[in-house]
Amino acid sequence: MPRSKQPPATDSTSSSPDPRRLQMDDIARLAGVSTATVSRALNGSKLINEETRKRIVELARSLNYTVNVAARNLRIQENRTVAVVVPYDAKSRQHISDPFFLSIVGSIADALTDRGYDMLLSRVDAERLDLAAGWLDSGKAIGLILIGQWRHHDQLNEMAMRKLPLVVWGGEMPQQLYCSVGGDNQLGGALATRHLLQSGRRRVAFVGDAKLPEVWLRQQGYALALKEAGLKADPELELAAPFEPSAATEFLREFCALHQDFDAALCCSDVLALLMIQVLRAQGRRVPEDVAIVGYDDMPLAAYCDPPLTTVHQPVAEAGVQMVEALVAQMSGDRALSRTMPVYLYQRKSTLAGA
């Protein structure tokens, strides 16, 4: 038998540090009613005397009482917690850190708060996105938001087949079963590439790992724009660099040493773009005179870099709202369609000078 309920904290021993948390019983006793009445009062039931209700609510507040949510959830079989999961690269021990992901998290936090949901934030090994479902399975959360697809489209599809309420930030891939929300990556890739071509560049490098759906889509846009201009993509100019800064730097250094002939680059994050600029300069090439650089994301500081970065602006503020909306739809049993939001190219100095 579990230890019996402790006697109401006696004040005889002045040093009792954590008086047993107040519970409904106590309020009931103090108010001279039953717990049922207290419950009704606190939940604004309408079959209760207005006077008693006021009295009880008042008392509860003055005593700083609030209901035990675990118990309430258990009884009422409800829960308003959404798990937000940021994948990280377990191998490189790279943690939640990309400023863009962090902004998305902030945006989601706002949207969830606005709709009265609680947000559980965690990270998960990018190779095992399916583990994120643990939040749902354990009953801790009733909905799941994943920041990024990484390489595991397949795991996400499986989760969708289990009918889990799931929204993923990322690109919409053909025949995808889960609900994704993201910027229009193909458009972003195309806008950036067209801009480079129109300003006279001809050898445009593409930097990003196309195994990631978002990057793959951007690459499609890049290829499309090249084709429109009557050029064909040169596989030599495609660099599958990771996003993690220090690893990326290695890739970029080698790539730039090997390829002296490109006159522009589309980098799949602003951080990559900045690193690229650094590497190019170290090798004596000027940006934008010798090489024009376009970034991706439009982080808050992109406008203040040296040079200010031309970049594809992602709709961060909108992202949270859209993801939460899609999730809520699923949680109420509707099927939520994936959403692709428009993106815009912000032209700044990193692509300014003529060739």
Partner DNA sequence: ATGAAAGCGCTAACAC
Partner DNA sequence: GTGTTAGCGCTTTCAT
Q: Between 165 and 189, name the residue whose CB sits nearer to a second copy.
A: 165
Q: Which of residues 54-93 bind a second copy (CB under 8 A)?
A: 64-71, 73-75, 79, 81, 84, 86
Is-contact 241 251, C-beta < 8 A? yes
Helices 99-114 and 316-331, axial angle in degrees (round to 10)? 50
Rounded to whole angstroms, how far apart are CA atoms 276 and 265? 9
Residue 138 binding a second copy, by CB under 8 A? yes
Question: String of b and e for 155-188 (b: at least 16 CB within 10 Å)?
Answer: bbebbbeeebbbbbbbbbbeebebbbbbbbbbbb
Name which position in 7, 17, 44, 284 contacts a second copy (CB under 8 A): 17
Which residues on neighbouring strands pair with residue 88, listed in sequence order?
Answer: 125
**Least Å distance between CB 310 and a second copy?**
14
Dihedrals φ, ψ of 271, to 5°? -65, -45
Stretch that binds a second copy, among 4-12, 14-22, 33-41, 152-160 (CB under 8 A): 14-22
For 32, the token pair is 């001279």
Q: Between 187 and 293, name the residue whose CB sits nearer to a second copy.
A: 293
Q: Which does 306 bind (CB under 5 to 8 A by kind): a second copy, DNA, none?
A: a second copy
Is-contact 22 64, C-beta < 8 A? yes
Residue 11 binding a second copy, by CB under 8 A? no
**CA quadruple 73, 79, 80, 83: dihedral sign:** positive
Residue 52 binding DNA, by CB under 7 A? yes
Task: Residue 135: name the closest of 320, 322, 327 by CA.
Answer: 327
Q: Between 31 and 187, name the residue whose CB sits nearer to DNA.
A: 31
Q: Which does 24 bind (CB under 5 to 8 A by kind): a second copy, DNA, none?
A: DNA
Rounded to whole angstroms, how far apart are CA atoms 193 and 116? 41
For 168, the token pair is 């993923």
Stretch that binds a second copy, among 111-119, 153-161, 181-189, 281-289 (CB under 8 A): 111-119
Rounded to whole angstroms, how far apart are CA atoms 71 and 319? 34
Residue 246 binding a second copy, by CB under 8 A? no
CA Rg value for the chain: 27
For 51, the token pair is 């006077």
Name which position in 306, 337, 342, 355 contacts a second copy (CB under 8 A): 306
**Least Å distance between CB 211 and a second copy?**
24
Name which position in 67, 109, 233, 331 contacts DNA (CB under 7 A): 67
Do the bridges between strand 292-297 and strand 310-313 make them parallel or antiparallel, or are there none, so unpaired?
parallel
Residue 18 binding a second copy, by CB under 8 A? yes
- Number of residues counted as binding DNA (CB under 7 A): 33
**Least Å distance between CB 137 and DNA?**
10
Residue 249 binding DNA, by CB under 7 A? no
Q: Which does 39 bind (CB under 5 to 8 A by kind): a second copy, DNA, none?
A: DNA
Q: Which does 216 bind (CB under 5 to 8 A by kind): DNA, a second copy, none?
A: none
Q: Which does 97 bind (CB under 5 to 8 A by kind): a second copy, DNA, none?
A: a second copy
Task: Residue 217: name the closest of 173, 252, 176 by CA.
Answer: 173
Rounded to whole angstroms, how far apart are CA atoms 325 and 345? 26
Residue 37 binding DNA, by CB under 7 A? yes
For 139, the token pair is 């009953």
For 313, the token pair is 């602006």
Residue 304 binding a second copy, by CB under 8 A? yes
Report how far Cα 348 is from the mean position of its chain's Cα atoms.
Answer: 26
With vertex at residue 222, the alpha carbon angle to CA 221 and CA 226, rounded to the nearest 5 degrees, is 115
Q: Which residues bind a second copy (CB under 8 A)?
A: 2, 17-18, 21, 64-71, 73-75, 79, 81, 84, 86, 95-97, 99, 102-103, 105-106, 109-110, 113, 118-123, 134, 137-140, 163, 271, 274, 277-278, 299-301, 304-308, 333
Q: Which residues bind DNA (CB under 7 A)?
A: 1-5, 20-21, 23-25, 32-37, 39-40, 42-43, 47-49, 52-53, 67-68, 71-72, 74-77
